[in-house]
Structure 1
Amino acid sequence: KIIDKVKSLQLTAYEDKQTDAPLLAKIPEGSKVVNRKENKDLGTVEYTFENGAQVILKQTDFKNNEIQFSGYTLGGTSLAKTEDILNAMYASSIIEECGLGQFSKSDLKKKLAGKDIDITPYIQDLKQGFNGKVAPADLETMLQLLYMYFTDIRKDDEAFKAFMSKLKSQFMFISSNPQFAFFDKFTKIITQNDPRTILIPTEEQLQTVTLEKSIQFFKERFNNARDFKFFFVGNINENEALPLIQKYIGGLPSQAKSEMWKDVSPKFPSGIVQETVYKGKDEKGFVGMAWNTNYEWSSENNIKTNMLIKILDIMLRENVREKESGTYGIQARLDYDKYPKEEISVTIIFGCDPKNQDKLSKVVIKQMQELQKKGPSEENLKKIKEQLIRERETDLKKNNWWIRKLDNMYYYNDLTGSLNEYNNIINKVTAKDIQELANKYFVMNNYVKVYLKPEKK
C-alpha cells in the first residue's frame, strides 16, 4: 500500500525561486560622463561621472578572456574606533559570508554558476575597495555585484555565527603553534603593543565583534562613490563597456563629503630591543629582526631601495644559508610607504637551530654592515639590474601587473614620467648609490631582535 501511494503522488519539479530571481530588482539609471581624458604614455582612458566616481580603462591583448579589476577610496580601518577595530578588520569577510541582496552566499554561488567572475571587497589600514577579474562576456554581471556591495548588502545571523565559530577554532589551533606565538610576540614588540594591531585575537577580543557593528562599518566605507577610482585592464572594448560602466558605476550613490584616512600608525621602539619567546618542545628556533626609519618616497628612490634589498637577499642567502648552512631559507622583506608618513621597514626572519641564533644573527648584521662599508659587489649589482629589467619586460605583458601599477600610480599621485625611464634609472645606479642607501636605512643602533626557543625543561 505504501508503495502504491508513493507511485500515485503527483511530483512537481523543484523551483529554486531565489536563484531564478534577477540579481538586481531595479537597474540603476546611471549618470553622465563629465570628463574624459587620455594618457598616451600609459595607454589609458580616464572617465569622471556626475556622481564623482572615476574609471580608468586600459585595453590590452594579453589574454582574450580576461579583464582585471580594482577600485579604491581613502579611509580604511584607520577611521574605526580602537574598541571596534576587529569589527572593521573582519567587516568585508563577514559581508562576503552573508551574501548579497536576497541571495545567501550559497544561493549567489548557484546564481553565478558558469560565469567567470571574481570580485572581492577589502578594507585595509588606509583605504577600502575591490579586487577582481572577469571574462568580458560577464562584465555586466560583475558590475551588478559591485553595485550591490554599495546598495544591497545582506544580514545573515547564521552565516555570521558560522564565520565566528570557524574563526575562533582557527585561532585556537594556531595559538598553540610555537611559530605563531613567535610572530605574535614579534608584532607586539615592533608596534609596542599597539591595541589596533592584532595578529592573534584573544577570546575576549573576538567577543567584541558583532554582525551589526561590522555591517555598519562596511556601509560607512562603501556608501559614497564620489572619491572612488576604478580600474579595468584587459580585453575591454571602450565603446561596449562604457554604457555598462556608466549605468552601474555612474549610478552608484554619492555624497558631497570626502573622507581621508587618519594617522593611527604605531611607533617603532627606540634603541635595540631583544626578547626571547619560549614555546614548544622541539629543538626548533626562529629569529626575527626588524628595522624602521624615515624614508624619502619617490619613484627613483623606490627602485634603488628595491635593488638594495634584493642585493642584501643574495648576500644573506650566500652567507647564512649556504656558507654557514644555518637555515633552509632566509629572506629580507622590505616595506616602504608614503602614507600615513614616509617610512621604511626591513624585516629579516629565518628558522635555525636555537644554539645558532646568536651566531647567525651576527652574520646577518655583518652582511648589512658590509653593504654600509663597501657597497655591493659589481657582480651582484649587475645580476640585480639584469633581473629587474628582465622581470619588467615580462610584467609589461601581464594584466595583473598593470592593474596594480595603475592602482598604485593613482593612490600615490604619481602619474608623471614615462615607464621607459625605469630601465634608465636602473642602469644608472652605482655601487655607491646602494652603499649610501644602506647607511641611511640600516640603522644599527635601533632595531628589534626576537628569538623563538623551545620551552625550558
Structure 2
Amino acid sequence: MKKILSLLLFAIIISCNSTNQTTKIVDVKKVAEKVENLNTSLIPDDPSVIRGTLSNGIKYYIKNNGKPEDKVELRLVVNAGSILEDDDQQGLAHFMEHMNFNGTKNFKKNELVDYLQSIGVKFGMHLNAYTSFDETVYILPIPSDDKDKLEKGFQILEDWAFNALLTDEEINKERGVVLEEYRTGLGAEKRMMKNYLPKVLYNSKYAKRLPIGKKEILENFKPDVLRRFHKDWYRPDLMAVIAVGDVDVTTLEAKIKAHFDKPNKNKNPRYREIFGDENHKETFVAIVSDKEAMFSQVELMYKNPKIKTTDNTIKGAQKELLEGLFAEMINSRLGELRNNPNPPFVYGFSFNGGTYVRGREAYQSIAMAKGTDFVAALKALVEENERVKRYGFQQEEFERAKKSMLARIEKRYQNRAKQESKRLINPMIDNFLEGESMPSLEWTYNFFNSELPKIKLSEVNGLIKEYLRDDNRVVKLTGKEKTVTEKEVLDLLNFVKTDTTIKPYEDSKVQESLFTSLPKKGTILKEEKNEEYGFSTLTLSNGAKVIFKKTNFKDDEVLFKTESYGGTSLLSTKEYLEANLALRGLSEAGIAGLNKNDLNKFMTGKIVRVRPFISKFLEGMNGSSTPKDLETLFQLIHLNFTQLNKDKEAYNSYVSKQKGFLGNLLANPQFYFQDAFSKYQYEGYDRFTGFPTPEAYDKSNYNLAYEIYQQKFSNAGDFIFYFVGNFDVNKLKKYASLYIASLPSTEIRENYKDDGFFPITGNYNKTFYRGNDPKSMVNMIYRGQATYNNKDGLAMDALGEIMSIKLVEKLREEASGVYSPRVSSNFSELNNSYRLNISFSCGPENVEKLKAISELEILKMVNEGPSEKDLNKAKEAFLLSRKEQLKKNKFWLDNISSANFLKKDISELKDYENQVHNLTVKDVQFTAKKFLTNGVVVGILMPEKN
C-alpha cells in the first residue's frame, strides 16, 4: 500500500484498483468503528482482482476493467534483474529482454514486432519492456474485440516466458542495438555515478550491477553465457502474468491456464538471493563534478538501518498516513522557500521512501542548486529539517495537509469506475515482487476519511527523530565544478545542529475568499446547440463566447481553454526581443493581491489550475478542475484577466531560478547541438532568440511584459472560452454569466500576423563538434510550404508513421546501428507548411552509412511508395488511436478549439475514418514525391576532434 499512498501524496496518478460494479460506499463513521482495534488486522486486497498460482509456481492477477473499451493490458513480470547477474553476465539481464523481441518459438526474428504493428500496436509507444536491478517487466496492450488477436497476445506472453530461441546469429546481431543503447547513456551523469555510487550503496552489489552493464562484456560474451542467465532466472516460480482490461475474467483465466500451466523443467532452481548494502557509522560525502553536468544537485540521505519488511497491517497503513502528512508539510515549506525573493534553490523536496536497494528506505532531501551554489541549497534543506526537529509543524499546516490529501483521494475516488487499465497494474506488480497489499480504491478512500481525522499533530512531529541520524548518512553533491569541500559539508551539518538563529516557522493567515466583492453579473444573449457533436455555444453580453461539451469520459475532470488571435506576432521586433522571456514569468507574482505562497495556501483542498500564456499567434489560458471546484476555476479565470499582480521581486525570484536551471544546459552536447542547429536554420531571422541564457534574462524587460499582458487580456470580447468534461450545465452557465460576462471588453477584434519568415529549405549539411564521448546525433529535416488540404495532411501523417516503421526495421534490426530512431511529420494548416523529421543517435563511424540508408528509404517512398502491408500498419495505428481519442476530453477540447481558430467546419471529424480507409499507396507516394524531393537539411553532431 505504501507506494499507492506515496504516489497520491506527490499528486502523481495513483495506480490502484477499482471495480466496474456498483459498490455501496460504507459510512465513514461505521468504517472508523470497524478499523478501531484492528492494528494487527491485514489490509484487505481488492476483491475484484482474481489471483491464483499455477501448478508450476507462476502467479497470475486478473481484473475486468472497461476503460479503454475493447483493450486488454498484459504484463509478464520476472522477479529477476541485473542484481542476479554473475560477474561475466553484466548487462545480460537487459540483453535478455531485447532477445525476447528477436526470435521465439512462434515469432521468428522480427515477426513479433511486424505482427503487432499490423494490428495497430506501436513498438516503443505501446509494446515495450524494462529491466531494472531486481525485475524485468514486459508490456503488451492488445485489442480485445477480436478473439484471434487476444489469443495471439497470450501466445506472445507465453513465448516471452518460455520460448526464446536465443540463436547465436540473433544474439550477435543484437549486440549492436544494445551497445547503441549503452552509448545513449554515456555522458556526465554516468561518469559521476561511477564515483558516487560506492558511497550511496556502501559495500553493495547494486553499485556494480547497473542494468545497462559493461561494454566489454556486451561486446564479447559467448552466447552460452546469456543462455545460462535465461535458464537460471526465467523460470515459473519467478514469474507473474497480469491481465487487466475489457474481457471477462473467466476468459482471461482460461487463457492464462492454457498458455502458462506448463511443467517446471528446472528441477534444481538456483537460489534467488536478496542483496542489500551495509550500514555505516560515518557520514559519507560524495562531491563529484563533470564539465558537461547540466545541473547542480544536492541530496541528503538518512538511511534506515533496518531493511524494511512488508507491513500490510492496518497499523502499518496508519504509519504511512503519518509519513504522508509529514511529506506534505515539509514540501509545502520547501515550496515557500522556492518562491522567496532570493530562493536558496531552483526546487527542493523531501520524502521517506525507497532507494536503489530493494527494502532499504531512507529519508531523502533533494534540491537543485542555483548555478554552483551548493552551500545555500544544502543549508536550506538541513535547516528546514532541523526547524521541524526543534519546533515541529503547526496546527494550521497540519489541517491544510489533511485537507490536501483528502481532496486528492476524493478526486481519484470520484473517477473510480473510469480508470484506464494501465493505471491499475502497478499494485499487482508490487504485490508479486514485494508482497505489498493492493487494496481497492473504495477501501483506501474510506480508510483516509476514517483515519486522517484521528491523527494527532504530535504523532507526525515525532517522525523527524526517526528520520534524522548521524549514522548511515550520505551527502551527494554533483555539478559542473566543485565549489565546496567535504570538510565544509560536514562543518555545515554540525553547525546547523546548534545554530541559535533558526526560529519557528511563521505561518501566514489564509484569506477565505478570492473576492472582496463579486463582479457585476453579465448575461447570456444567445445559446446555440450542435446536436451532432454535442456542444453548445453561448454568446455573452460582453461579446465573449463560451463553448462547452459535457461528457462522462471521466467523472473527476473538467478541462478548460481560452484563446484570442494576436499573440506576440503583433509586437514589434524590439518589443518581442525585450519582453519574450519576461512574459513567461508574469504569473509568479500571483493574483488579486495574493502572492504565490498565499495563493497556494488558499487553494488547499481544491484541485484546479489556470495558466495564462502568450504564444506566437495566440494569447489565452488553459487549465482544469474537478466538478466540485468549477466555480474556483471560473474565479481564477476572471482574476487572471483582471488582477494579475505586479511584483518585481517575485519576477526576480523566477529569473534567479531560471538562471540556475538553464545555466549549464549548453554544456551538454545534445542541448548544444539542438541550439546550434536551430541557429543555423534560422540565420537572418531577427526575431530568433534561440536557447534562453542567463544573459538573455538579464536583458528581459519585466515592465514592458506586464504592459503587454494587460493589453492582451483587456478585451474579453475577443476571446472564446472552451470547457469540456463532467460539469453541471446550469452551474457552468451561472458562472459564465458571473465571471466571464463581467470581464471588460471592447468592439475591437484582432487577428494574428505572419511575418513570412521560413527557416532554410533545400539541401544543406552542417556538422557540429562537441563532447568527448564516442556518440553522434543526426537530424534530417524535409520541409517546405504548400497549400494545405486534408488528403495531403493525412498522407503526411502516414509518411511519418511508415518511415518510423521502416527505420526501426532498417537502422535498428538490420543494421544494428541505432537504439531508437525517431520520425515525426506534420502538415500545418496554420501556415501551410510541411515537415518530416528523422533523428537518431549512433556511433560516429556509422553516421554516413545510416544517413544513406535513411535517404534511400525516402527515395523508395518517392519512387515506389510504401508497401500495402506497411500502409495498412499505419492505418491500423491511426484507427486504434482515434477509437481511444474519441473518449478523451482533451481530444474534443483541442479539436473544437482548433476548428474555431482555423475557421473550419468541425464536421470534418466524422470523415476521418473513411479518409483513413480510402488512403492508397499512390496517395502516399504522390505526397512523398510532392514534398520530399526538394532537398533535406541535415545537422550532425560529432565528438570534438582531439
Instruction: Quickly say closer, same or farther: Cα 1:47–1:141, change in 2 above 3 A.
Output: same
Q: CA deviation at 1:233?
A: 0.7
For residues 287 and 429 of structure 1, what CA distance do their matches in structure 2 show?
31
Q: Show the counterpart of 1:198.
A: 689
The alignment status of 1:185 with 2:673, answered yes or no, reads no
Matched to 1:454, the amino acid is: P
CA shift digits 1:85-131 (9 cap, x unpaired): 35543345312211111111111110001001021112211111111
Which residue of 936, 943, 946 maps to 1:447? 936
Q: After TM superposition, give the deviation of residue 416 of structure 1 in Å.
A: 4.5
Q: Which residue of 1 aligns with 2:532?
A: 41
Deviations 1:129-167 (A, max 9, x none): 111111111111111111111110112222211211122
Q: Deviation at 1:265?
A: 4.8
* Deviation by residue 1:42-88 (Cα, 9 ceiling, x = unmatched): 11001111211111110111111211111111111212232333554
Q: Which structure has the larger Rg over C-alpha atoms? A: 2
Structure 1 moving runs of 4+ over 4 Å: 12-15
Which residue does 1:115 correspond to in 2?
606
In 2, the alpha carbon distance for the partners of 1:285 and 1:403 equals 40
1:337-382: CA deviation from partner (whole Å, max 9, x where unpaired): 223x311122222111112111111111111111111111111111
Correspondence 1:56-71 to 2 at 5 A: 56-71=547-562
**Residue 130 of structure 1 pairs with residue 621 of structure 2:** yes
Letter in 2 for 1:24: F
Partner of residue 102 from structure 1, selected from 593, 597, 617? 593
Select which of 693, 707, 710 maps to 1:219: 710
SS of alignment partner, residue 403 of structure 1: helix
2:650 match: 159
Question: Which letter does structure 1 place at the counterpart of 2:897?
Answer: D
Q: Distance in 1 between matches of 2:536 and 2:583?
A: 30
Match of 1:287 among 762, 773, 778: 778
Give distance in 2, aligned partners of 1:114 and 1:202: 37
SS of corresponding position for 1:46: strand
CA contact (8 A) 2:896 2:906 kept: no
- Choose 261-270 or 29-38, whichever is displaced more: 261-270
**What value does the CA root-mean-square deviation take over the aligned residues?**
1.9
CA contact (8 A) 1:58 1:236 kept: no
8 Å CA contact 1:69–1:132 kept in 2: the answer is yes
Q: Which runs of 5+ in 2 are unaligned?
A: 1-394, 397-505
Aligned length: 443
Match of 2:800 among 289, 297, 309: 309
Question: How far apart are the structure 1 equivalents of 2:806 and 2:575?
Answer: 43
The TM-score with structure 1 as length reference comes to 0.92
1:437 equivalent to 2:927? Answer yes
Conserved in 1, the CA contact under 8 Å of 2:865 and 2:925? yes
- Measure, in 2, the Cα distance between the counterparts of 1:186 and 1:265: 21
Distance 1:199 1:114 in 2: 40
Letter matched to residue 638 of structure 2: Y
In the alignment, is the contact (CA less than 8 A) between 1:101 and 1:153 conserved in 2?
yes
The answer on whether the counterparts of 1:30 and 1:246 sit within 8 Å (CA) in structure 2 is yes
**Contact preservation (8 Å) 1:32, 1:49:** yes
Amino acid at match of 2:932: F
Q: Is the 8 A contact 1:94 1:214 kept in 2?
A: no
Distance in structure 1 (CA, Å) of the matches to 2:872 and 2:762: 35
1:77–1:88 Cα contact (<8 Å) kept: no
**Percent identity of paired positions between Structure 1 and Structure 2:** 31
Of 299-308 and 115-124, the range deviating more from structure 2: 299-308
Label 1:91 to 1:408 Cα distance change in 2 as closer, same or farther (>3 A): farther
1:15 Cα deviation (Å)? 7.9
Shift of 1:261: 1.4
Contact preservation (8 Å) 1:56, 1:231: yes
Contact 1:188 1:194 in 2 (8 A): no
User: Aligned-pair distance for 1:266?
Assistant: 2.8
**Residue of 362, 366, 375 corresponding to 2:856:** 366
Quote the offset at 1:286 in angstroms.
Answer: 0.7
Report if aligned partners of 2:797, 2:826 keep a CA contact under 8 Å in 1.
Answer: no
CA contact (8 A) 1:77 1:125 kept: yes
Aligned pair 1:90/2:581, yes or no? yes
User: How far off its partner does 1:22 sit?
Assistant: 2.0
The equivalent of 1:7 in structure 2 is none
Aligned residue in 2 for 1:54: 545
User: Take 2:869 and 2:615, find their aligned partners in 1: how far apart are those partners?
Assistant: 39
Deviations 1:306-345 (A, max 9, x none): 1221111111121112211121111122233223x31112
DSSP 3-state at the match of 1:20: coil
Contact between 1:88 and 1:218, CA under 8 Å: does it hold in 2? Answer: no
Q: 1:416 to 1:231 in 2, by over 3 A?
A: closer
Contact 2:613–2:620 (CA under 8 A) maintained in structure 1: yes
Question: What's 2:865 paired with?
Answer: 375
The answer (yes or no) to whether the contact 2:768–2:941 under 8 Å persists in 1 is yes
**Judging changes above 3 Å, is the alpha-carbon distance between structure 1 residues 166 and 193 closer, same or farther for their aligned structure 2 residues?**
farther
Q: Distance in 2 between matches of 1:83 and 1:348?
A: 35
